[in-house]
């Protein structure tokens, strides 16, 4: 009798130990499973991205290098998605700018699903008349979110220390940067390569703007926008901080707040050269 109780107790304890061990292992197993599933989702999303999105958002999703279906280099119409301000941190700057309340995953999935009305970004979900199933929208969003790896997000991009005043900028001399007189010809090339023309149209063609105001007359108009600001100061500020002042009339009607203009040119110019600013100003406003 005694022996049976002892054996019973030992058996019971052994069972508990084995069960306990299995229970402890379970989250680990689930973790592997989740990681594998996420990996597959990103992979499927990458293919969807290259087939559907790269024409506008670029081969590296930086909106810098775009090709049409025939392989010709074209202007990127979309915004950079491989972008610190869209994917890094719990609440990336882009969500705050657009006053989105939710997670970055929701932001990206909803943008892809529903598109942005009045822009080239169509609704991709079948639910809104687009070509993708919900699982495809999720996969392509997972691909975009996957840019937020530790290395990429470790350091906030460094911005050049832009002076408040355009006059100070145009004569700036520091150890790292000496402003040269703006080159309007290079400014014209930059106006295309930074995709200003995709929203603002061509300077010598009134009405060619698709989203923002036409900028062919900004030399006169810019001087009237904000009291006390010259056209140079106004354009300089508009590029560095599109939300500082919202222009009245856009291509499709009144301009909306927050601005639909990319708000990371301060960083994009810093990464290339602050001189790009001087060249674009020379192109838009003359010297």
Q: Enumerate binding residues for ligand HEC (CB under 6 A).
A: 52-53, 55-57, 77-79, 81, 86, 94, 108, 111-112, 116, 119-121, 124, 140, 144, 194-196, 198-200, 211-213, 215, 218, 221, 225, 235, 238-239, 242, 246-247, 250, 255, 259-262, 265, 280
Q: Which is nearer to ligand HEC, 27 or 129 (CB)?
A: 129
CA distance 176 to 249: 38
Nearer to ligand HEC, 59 or 246 (CB): 246
CB of 190 to ligand HEC, least distance (A): 7
Which are the contacts of 86, defined by CB distance < 8 A and separation ≥ 6? 79, 80, 92, 94, 104, 108, 144
Q: Three-state SS string across the chain, please?
A: CHHHHHHHHHHHHHHHHHHHHHHHHHHHHHHHHHHHHHHHHHHHHHHHHHHHCHHHHCCCCCCCCEECCCCCEECCCCCCCCCHHHHCCCCCHHHHHCCCCCCHHHHHHHHHHHCCCCCCCCCCEHHHCCCECHHHHHHHHHHHHCCCCHHHHHCCCCCCCCCCCHHHHHCCECCCCECCCCCHHHHHHHHHHCCHHHHHCCCCCCCCCCCCCCCCCHHHHHHHHCCCCCHHHHHHHHHHCHHHCCCCEECCEECCCCCCCCCCHHHHHHHHCCHHHHHHHHHHHCC
Residue closer to ligand HEC (CB basis): 23 or 253: 253
Retrieve residue 71's tokens: 């392989």
Q: How far is the C-alpha of 113 from the C-alpha of 144, rounded, in Å? A: 14
Q: Minimum distance from CB of 175 to ligand HEC (Å)?
A: 26
Q: Among residues 15 and 109, whose Cβ is nearest to ligand HEC?
A: 109
CB of 15 to ligand HEC, least distance (A): 51
Distance of closest approach, residue 68 Cβ to ligand HEC, in angstroms: 11
For the bound state, the minimum distance from the C-beta of residue 192 to ligand HEC, rounded and expressed in Å, comes to: 9
Tell me how far apart the alpha carbons of residues 161 and 35 are, in angstroms, rounded to a whole number.
Answer: 41
Shortest gap between Cβ of 101 and ligand HEC (angstroms)?
Answer: 15
Least separation, in Å, of the C-beta of 121 and ligand HEC? 3
- Of the pair 19, 256, the CB lying nearest ligand HEC is at 256
Q: Specify the residue, 97 or 172, whose C-beta has the smaller distance to ligand HEC.
A: 97
Give 88 or 195: the residue with its C-beta nearer to ligand HEC: 195
Q: How far is the CB of 178 from ligand HEC (least distance, A)?
A: 22
Which of 16, 244 has the CB closer to ligand HEC?
244
């Amino acid at each position: 009798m005694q022996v049976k109780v002892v054996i019973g107790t030992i058996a019971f304890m052994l069972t508990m130990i084995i069960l306990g061990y299995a229970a402890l292992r379970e989250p680990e197993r689930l973790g592997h499973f989740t990681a594998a599933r996420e990996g597959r989702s990103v992979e499927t999303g990458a293919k969807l991205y290259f087939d559907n999105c790269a024409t506008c958002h670029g081969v590296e999703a930086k909106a810098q290098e775009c090709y049409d279906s025939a392989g010709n280099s074209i202007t990127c119409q979309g915004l950079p998605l491989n972008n610190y301000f869209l994917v890094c941190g719990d609440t990336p700057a882009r969500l705050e700018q657009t006053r989105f309340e939710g997670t970055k995953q929701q932001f990206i999935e909803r943008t892809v699903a529903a598109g942005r009305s009045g822009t080239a970004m169509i609704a991709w979900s079948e639910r809104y008349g687009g070509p993708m199933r919900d699982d495809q929208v999720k996969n392509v969003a997972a691909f975009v979110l996957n840019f937020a790896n530790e290395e990429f997000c470790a350091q906030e991009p460094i911005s050049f220390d832009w002076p408040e005043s355009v006059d100070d900028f145009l004569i700036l001399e520091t150890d790292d940067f000496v402003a040269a007189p703006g080159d309007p010809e290079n400014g014209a090339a930059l106006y295309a390569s930074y995709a200003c023309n995709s929203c603002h149209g061509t300077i010598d063609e009134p009405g060619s703007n698709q989203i923002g105001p036409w900028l062919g007359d900004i030399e006169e108009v810019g001087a009237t926008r904000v009291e006390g600001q010259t056209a140079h100061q106004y354009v300089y500020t508009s590029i560095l901080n599109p939300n500082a002042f919202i222009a009245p009339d856009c291509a499709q009607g009144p301009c909306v707040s927050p601005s639909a203009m990319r708000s990371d040119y301060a960083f994009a110019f810093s990464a290339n050269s602050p001189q790009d600013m001087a060249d674009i100003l020379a192109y838009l406003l003359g010297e």
